[in-house]
Structure 1
Amino acid sequence: MNQTQTGPPLVRRAGEPDTDELARMLTGLTELSRYFRFQTAIGSPPRSALLLRMLCPAGAAFVATRGPAIVGHAMWAWAPGEATAELAAVIAEDDQRRGLGIRMLSIAAADAIAAGATHFLFVVSAANERSLRMVRRRWPDATVDRDGALLSFVAPARLPDQPEERADVVHEQTGCLECGEVPAAGELRPMDDSVPAV
């Protein structure tokens, strides 16, 4: 574990004041991580228009912080299709494969369900094997379409660790954030599946 990782990150809603720290986190990603998340070059530092779309989407955005530093970002935004929310997340290099991405996706998914989403959309590079495994494992009933190097998965809206949406679980995931920050998890551990790089 990196010595700066003293405890689990805190997750909270994101906003414009997070622009500089999010830019710092994105700049610290490897080229491959940036490509898997954005499917294109984003610049270094990333353009302010991109950062604003990530922090203030047509849905909601969340950041995981350790001290003042942002170590993760997740969001959902309305996508084409009836009540379809696109989910996406990106995690700082030192915090990848430890469960933070799944935790953040769960929070974003719960918030999207609470807002009325009935389906989720994930757009994943065909080369991103860890994210493909994660989507297939956690949303096994998703349908998939291919467009060149991208795979688009559409799944019924439910939390990644629940067989169906349950109001009490959705409330637990979203209600805690109304009061501010929540721990990302009791214990983060190495994981085989990573965040969907959408």
Structure 2
Amino acid sequence: GYRYPCSRLVAAGRRSFLSHCKVPSSCPATRCLSTAASSEDGQLIYTGNLGMAVRGVKMFSYCTSGASLLIMPQVLLKTGMGVESFALQVAFCGIIGVFTFLTPVLLHVITKGYVLRLYHNANTDTYTAITNSVFLTERRCVFTRNQVRVPSISKMFTSFYAGQRGLLVNPDHFPIPQDYNHLMGYDKPFSFSTDDIE
């Protein structure tokens, strides 16, 4: 009868062996379930893109304010204002003091609600917002979905209130738009009552 070449027999044997045996891979399997990072606070659902800029501006403001306080006595002595009238000294110190203290305070008031990162724990439906404190350290604000309140009038530096605290986020920086809708309560069923128009 017809004889198969030896190479064909070897190839057929390899296919039969591989079809019945699974060789484990040394590479871990990739899982594309979610792009959000997880932590003890839940899933990372938002990251602000201005975090480094806000921190840099505040640090620069603090440094310039500190430098102003250090050189102010030298300016008073070298310009002769230290021996001038008391009213002139008060006016000079008042002008310098406004820029020295008011600028950092104003920057903090404007940026204290800027959210650096926002985490969501789906099991408890709680959120953890990470913001900058006045000393440039990270501050955690934990709140529930029921505590979120959207202001009736749009505000420049407040997207929503978590209890009594105003927080600022950019809707375009939520990788999953549904996370933003759930946070703001836009996924709730719409209810209409005739009492609302009376």
Per the shorter chain, which TM-score range?
Answer: under 0.3
TM-score norm. by structure 2 comes to: 0.21
Q: Give 1 or 2: higher strand fraction.
A: 1
| More RCO (CA 8 Å, sep 6+) | 1
TM-score norm. by structure 1 comes to: 0.21
Q: Give 1 or 2: higher helix fraction.
A: 2
